A and B are shown apart, each in its own frame.
Chain A
Amino acid sequence: MEGVYIAGVGMTAFGKHPDRSAADLAAEAILGALDDAGVGTMDIEAAWVGHVYQGMAMGQRALGAAGLSGLPITNVENACSSGSTAIFEAATALRAGAYDMVLAVGVEHLSTKFRGALQPDESDIEAQIGLTMPSVYAMRARRHFEQYGTTPRQLAAIAAKNKFNASLNPLAQFKKPISVDEVLAGPLIAEPLHRDECAPVSDGAAAVVLVSEKKRRQLGQARTVRLVASALRSGRMEVGLVDMTREDLTWRTALAAYEQAGLGPEDIQMAEVHDCFSIAETTRIEGLHLFPFGEYPKAVERGEASLGGRLPVNTSGGLLGKGHPLGATGVAQVIEIVKQLRGEAGDRQVQGLKVGLAHCRGGKARGVEGTACTVNILTL
């Protein structure tokens, strides 16, 4: 991929922000990213803003609150991958030579819109039968148990790992570590998944400044991180009786990203993946071919995905620990990799890091395994 770099990052604390608007949250993230890059509002040539439930022209409201107007602004809705799709679109425009400095933003104020379980769109035939997002993943978990002997305790260990990582992240929604036993003692949402194995309802915003090779040289910045791959795919209509534990969508997206980067799964040293549920982290990591199918939950129990392990996963706390303001999630994942690569991750710093991967996917529509998936790979 042509030189595309992340020159600045900014995000709000994730959690419940009842007293702040989505635009206010977005402005904090945007101004933080501009300051981090050492650039001003007038330097930004175009912006993409990802959100799901924020209504018409959220992007214009968000940028307006940060003092940006008049530039090309595109609103992006791609379910939970909206923010990472904004990054993909921004990177694609830079790669095409259309601009030299752009913004990708993600924002969501979910606590004012939802309580309880999210559902696919109400027109979806499966939503009309009672399918909720937790039950989608609960049924995948049941298959993982059946096919690989995975246990509820192993899945709970994923939630405990991510909540521990979140306790080291000042911007995370959950501040307190939780034990595996406490996860298993919590209420069931959709069997076999307990409450702490499901991402919470969150508000928050995140923003990154992306620049071309030329602009990076002009800025003379030593802290820029290179975006070596940015891939987007959508779920294929499933034909026949497919294996629900294998994420074809994740693999096809990852393959495109690995090819762009000239890297393979063996080169990835840390990953932020879309752990909307404990089982989801499993099927993402296995779908990315970072662990063999069926092996990941056992590896988590052995500490291989913890900080200091062979492949730290969701060092930010992930969606389970950091929180999941839908539109902001994909941008925040990339920010975690940037901070880790710069050596600015504080108590959760991964040592000797050169390559990190961010995976985001989400949504459900009948007939497809998932709606949208992105994989971004970053290097020093």
Chain B
Amino acid sequence: MSEMKSAPEVHGPDVFEYEGGRLCLVGSSCPQCGAAFYPPQAVCARCGHRGGDKLLLGPEGTVYTWSRVHRSTPEFKPPYVLVYVDFPQDVRVLMPLSDTAEPQIGDKVELAMEDGPRVEAGNLVPLVHARPVQK
């Protein structure tokens, strides 16, 4: 991977990619020890190797834990639900859930671009969300 930022913009185009028509997050894996990361790591946090290979996360994962947030800072519009999603690529990522219905630990989710919960100039900002997969 040529250009790796240590702190990518969560809204920026380098955070996600479509594969087979389905949304994935762009992470990295260490070519030396295989440790996987999101966002991509320029230096492996496990073995110290410099540089990483691109690793797509998704298109589905499972809910590890969640919370419905009622009090936040002025940049966000509560209530919103946050979930930690475990991807099969061995990486856990925080995302908003695409609706405020109660998820269950272990629920299957896919990635979707949706509005919120962040607000800029009065408008909800599009972000990669986790969306429950219909059972």
With an 8 A cutoff between CB atoms, is B86 at the interface? yes
With an 8 A cutoff between CB atoms, is B2 at the interface? no
Contact A146 B105 (CB under 8 A): yes
Contact A130 B69 (CB under 8 A): yes
Contact B68 A190 (CB under 8 A): yes
Contact A125 B8 (CB under 8 A): yes
Chain A neighbourhood of B91, CB < 8 A: 241
In this complex, what residue of B is CB-closest to A134? B71
Which one of B7, B46, B67, B105 contacts A190 once the chains associate, using CB atoms below 8 Å? B67
Contact A117 B73 (CB under 8 A): yes
What sequence of 0s and 1s flags, for each residue 20-56 of chain B, a beta carbon within 8 Å of any chain A beta carbon? 0000000000000001110100000110000000000
With an 8 A cutoff between CB atoms, is B90 at the interface? yes
Contact A130 B117 (CB under 8 A): yes
The SS class assigned to the A binding surface is loop
Chain A neighbourhood of B70, CB < 8 A: 187-191
Please, how many angstroms separate the alpha-carbon atoms of A116 and B74 in the complex? 10
With an 8 A cutoff between CB atoms, is A240 at the interface? yes
What's the tally of chain B residues with a CB closer than 8 Å to chain A?
36
Contact B64 A119 (CB under 8 A): no
What's the tally of chain A residues with a CB closer than 8 Å to chain B?
35
With an 8 A cutoff between CB atoms, is B16 at the interface? no
In this complex, what residue of A is CB-closest to B86? A241
Chain B neighbourhood of A117, CB < 8 A: 71-73
From residue 127 to 142 of chain A, which have CB atoms closer than 8 A to chain B?
128-132, 134-135, 138-140, 142
Given A125-B39, A130-B80, A240-B90, A139–B71 Cβ distance below 8 Å? no
With an 8 A cutoff between CB atoms, is A213 at the interface? no
Please, how many angstroms separate the alpha-carbon atoms of A190 and B64 in the complex? 16
Q: How far is the CB of A223 from chain B (nearest CB, A)?
A: 44
Chain B neighbourhood of A192, CB < 8 A: 67
With an 8 A cutoff between CB atoms, is A218 at the interface? no
Q: How far is the CB of B76 from chain A (nearest CB, A)?
A: 5
Contact B72 A139 (CB under 8 A): no
Chain A neighbourhood of B94, CB < 8 A: 126, 129, 131, 366
Q: How far is the CB of B127 from chain A (nearest CB, A)?
A: 7
Which one of A142, A238, A240 contacts B66 once the chains associate, using CB atoms below 8 Å? A142
25 A–B contacts from the bound complex (CB under 8 Å): A116-B72, A117-B71, A125-B7, A125-B8, A125-B10, A128-B9, A129-B10, A130-B96, A132-B71, A135-B69, A138-B69, A139-B67, A139-B84, A140-B65, A142-B67, A143-B64, A143-B65, A146-B65, A187-B70, A190-B69, A191-B69, A239-B37, A241-B91, A366-B94, A367-B45
Contact B64 A241 (CB under 8 A): yes
With an 8 A cutoff between CB atoms, is A244 at the interface? yes
What sequence of 0s and 1s flags, for each residue 71-113 of chain B, a beta carbon within 8 Å of any chain A beta carbon? 1110010001010101000111011100000000100000000
Please, how many angstroms separate the alpha-carbon atoms of A146 and B37 in the complex? 26
Highest count of chain B CB atoms <10 Å: which of A129, A188, A367: A129
